[in-house]
Structure 1
């Protein structure tokens, strides 16, 4: 191993050791996440300044940092399906009826789709204010290759219809979906878990002994899975540090400056939509500043990891242990939010692309004849957008092809795609948490004592109860 790489890794290990000392001295989880984020930016910027973005030494260093960053993401992905399954079954066993389940689903999904339509409208507004247009942009080799790739994927997007999406949610082989093999596996596991829960309730009166045994089994499984979630979430600051360092080190600042107009327009739209989320939370009777403080760690992880699905475990624990949302609602919001109605990937991004590309084919994107169909297509297309990397691309293909716009031009943004995707993913997760929070408040199920308490992510429930008792 080259001496340069050894030095780089030694510096990274020293920073990780500093973060571990923070943990040992009982610094708050939010402070440790902020520290990981800041140190990751500094390390990434320093490495690029010394070696340059195209350096082989930098790439090799990034590969080793991936052991921490990507390894952390994979650990989170490992617990997604078990968490969804046992949590939803446990929640249904507590509900004892399907009426509450229907209300939770309707409120959560309705909020997700409604906010996606609002997000699309904000995307259109920002595109207008920043005068975005693809007219006159030229493509380099990478952008041209990306355009050709998108053109090749067009057939898959055009083959998707709303009935087809809804059918894909049905778990024909639930064991396959438990592996996450399909884009809609998350929702399929939710549906399978609902069937198990409702079936179990059905034997409550007829076979109470069997029901009691199953209920006990689910409680044990739930306790074990939540313990596993706690163990993994304790690694969050280290994962954020490694992910951010790798991203900053490999970013091309020249490409970002070239398309800085689109970057500014995108983040203006993302920030404005986040303010809409805060307005909804405030309207539900919660302090928006305290709300932001509580959800920051999960947004920071979503921002650095760029995976909505990978954020599900942290989102669920944030909602239940910090916001006071019941576990059933939290799981529904996090699970549905990773696939349906993503405000960033399925709302803002395809809307801005459509407005940007429309002038290249002589269409005026600011007429009712263009905007109304665009919003309708985005609302329908937001159902079933994957919660992993590539979801925004898939949503853009659906919207652009449905509006008869050239999809290859979306390849012009490949150089800034990671930077934009960070903000989009954070907004997706923010939208799902806001949907769960609003649904919980509307149904009168939010535990305000938990919301006003100072619980930390990664703590054991027993530890929390002991601290409260003390």
Structure 2
């Protein structure tokens, strides 16, 4: 067994080395990312085909895969904080903060409503019915876990949710002690940015010192971000190997109908995003080409929060979105109005469970309730944490539906979650593009300048694509 583990690790190291050699010679980070994706899929399929026990091998893979995700999560908070602080400190008017927030959040909530309608229609067209799925021990346990978790959202109110966004401790916010820490960091950065504007207006000399200090800190953080983002191909390689070898093909086959319906609904949301992008005067094909590495990472990592640094980088350097708007949309999009987790998924669950309760899933009143509650739940996910699970809890509880039935999908949850996360990040970027289209001319010219994230050849290659 030990010999086999050493052999598997040795092959993995060889793949990492080969990818490193290619990455050094390549002028495009995106091509290196897709090479890592390809190698990960091939190696994972080989391991699965040979029926090799990877239980002892996966922890070594996780050093690279989970380690990379952890590094991105680590830099997400300081990156969002310093980027928003620097952007606001350079704004001509503090009132622009409200305009950016309005357009970004409105876009996220509207697209989430569309996502819920999309999920409901597709679930109906596929005739999904929870009563046709046999419950196993793991599904029952998941259902019971959701029932217990529902106590966390039982007393959730919109005023209470809004109040949870207001930080009580700067240290606690940066430590990530609350599920709303990311939004709280945005609030703190915004307040400090407005304070910097006030000082700069009343005492220009001191204001200049503050701006200079912010610039230095931003350069420092960006240097760290640049280094970590260059590790993306290796992280993708490890994450894809893990995804392939841990997928239960038998369980997927048994629930293939729901899986297929989910992917159809989620793909339709990508088409909706493409339509919105086209309305802003951009080419959807070029748009998705430029953000492909970000979506690839979101798909493999299943983490909207960990995707924030790559999200911001792509919006600024590849799409030309103003820095303040890119930072706001990436931050809000990771916690509010998630099209996949809070839109498509809970709506499909509600439609799937409806027949077991004698509810007509095509009823206009029922569909309207599902869409409206999903939009509200998409705002509430950030307040309780837990992503799609808690969005589902809020929607199903409000509709008076049994939560334990949602546990029936546990066996294919990881595969659905990958595409959900990709759609979440795409929706976040879409909100940034919309905000940029509406407010771009109001933002200072300096805010359109590219950051130092990534290498110049990577940016040039993607812009030429």
What is the TM-score when the length of structure 1 is the normalising length?
0.93
Counterpart Cα distance in 2 of 1:12 and 1:233? 20
CA 456–242 in structure 1, closer or farther in 2 if over 3 Å, else same: farther
* Higher mean C-alpha displacement, 249-258 vs 201-210: 201-210
Deviation at 1:388, TM superposition (A): 11
Counterpart Cα distance in 1 of 2:110 and 2:292? 23
CA 88–441 in structure 1, closer or farther in 2 if over 3 Å, else same: same
CA 455–261 in structure 1, closer or farther in 2 if over 3 Å, else same: farther
* Higher mean C-alpha displacement, 245-254 vs 364-373: 364-373
Residue pair 1:307, 1:388 contacting (<8 A) in 2 also:
no
Deviation at 1:206, TM superposition (A): 1.9
State whether structure 2 residue 122 is matched by structure 1 residue 118: no
Residue pair 2:122, 2:261 contacting (<8 A) in 1 also:
yes
For 1:134, the equivalent position in structure 2 comes to 130
Residue pair 2:223, 2:453 contacting (<8 A) in 1 also:
no
* Higher mean C-alpha displacement, 11-20 vs 250-259: 11-20
Deviation at 1:229, TM superposition (A): 0.9
Residue pair 2:313, 2:451 contacting (<8 A) in 1 also:
no
Counterpart Cα distance in 1 of 2:291 and 2:452? 11
Deviation at 1:137, TM superposition (A): 1.8
Residue pair 2:236, 2:297 contacting (<8 A) in 1 also:
yes
For 2:28, the equivalent position in structure 1 comes to 28
Counterpart Cα distance in 2 of 1:349 and 1:279? 21
For 1:208, the equivalent position in structure 2 comes to 204
Counterpart Cα distance in 2 of 1:133 and 1:204? 61
* Higher mean C-alpha displacement, 58-67 vs 21-30: 21-30
Deviation at 1:460, TM superposition (A): 6.3
CA 423–368 in structure 1, closer or farther in 2 if over 3 Å, else same: same
CA 445–7 in structure 1, closer or farther in 2 if over 3 Å, else same: farther
State whether structure 2 residue 344 is matched by structure 1 residue 319: no
Note the 1:238-249 alignment, pairs <5 A.
238-249=234-245
SS in structure 2 at match of 1:98: coil
For 2:11, the equivalent position in structure 1 comes to 11
For 2:421, the equivalent position in structure 1 comes to 425
CA 83–445 in structure 1, closer or farther in 2 if over 3 Å, else same: farther
* Higher mean C-alpha displacement, 223-232 vs 416-425: 223-232
SS in structure 2 at match of 1:363: coil
Residue pair 1:309, 1:388 contacting (<8 A) in 2 also:
no
State whether structure 2 residue 333 is matched by structure 1 residue 337: yes
Counterpart Cα distance in 2 of 1:31 and 1:455? 21
For 1:287, the equivalent position in structure 2 comes to 283
Q: Point out where structure 2 has 5 or more consecutive residues left out of the alignment.
A: none
1:376-413 Cα offsets, whole Å, 9 max, x none, are 11111111424998310010000000000000011000
Deviation at 1:445, TM superposition (A): 4.2
For 1:45, the equivalent position in structure 2 comes to 45
Counterpart Cα distance in 2 of 1:44 and 1:137? 29
Deviation at 1:35, TM superposition (A): 1.0
State whether structure 2 residue 177 is matched by structure 1 residue 181: yes
Note the 1:441-460 alignment, pairs <5 A.
441-445=437-441, 458-459=454-455
* Higher mean C-alpha displacement, 304-313 vs 7-16: 7-16
For 1:393, the equivalent position in structure 2 comes to 389
State whether structure 2 residue 360 is matched by structure 1 residue 369: no
1:429-458 Cα offsets, whole Å, 9 max, x none, are 0000010011101223499x99xx999962
- Supply the RMSD in Å over aligned alpha carbons: 2.3
Residue pair 1:43, 1:245 contacting (<8 A) in 2 also:
yes
CA 393–137 in structure 1, closer or farther in 2 if over 3 Å, else same: same
For 1:235, the equivalent position in structure 2 comes to 231
* Higher mean C-alpha displacement, 346-355 vs 156-165: 156-165
* Higher mean C-alpha displacement, 416-425 vs 82-91: 82-91
Counterpart Cα distance in 2 of 1:389 and 1:8? 36
* Higher mean C-alpha displacement, 173-182 vs 65-74: 173-182
Residue pair 2:161, 2:383 contacting (<8 A) in 1 also:
no
For 2:266, the equivalent position in structure 1 comes to 270
Q: Spell out structure 1 runs of 4+ moving beyond 6 A.
A: 453-457
CA 303–161 in structure 1, closer or farther in 2 if over 3 Å, else same: same
Deviation at 1:235, TM superposition (A): 0.5
SS in structure 1 at match of 2:202: coil
For 1:250, the equivalent position in structure 2 comes to 246
Residue pair 1:324, 1:446 contacting (<8 A) in 2 also:
no
What is the TM-score when the length of structure 2 is the normalising length?
0.94
CA 387–269 in structure 1, closer or farther in 2 if over 3 Å, else same: farther
Residue pair 1:86, 1:221 contacting (<8 A) in 2 also:
yes
Note the 1:407-418 alignment, pairs <5 A.
407-418=403-414
* Higher mean C-alpha displacement, 387-396 vs 320-329: 387-396
Counterpart Cα distance in 2 of 1:387 and 1:40? 35
CA 94–169 in structure 1, closer or farther in 2 if over 3 Å, else same: same
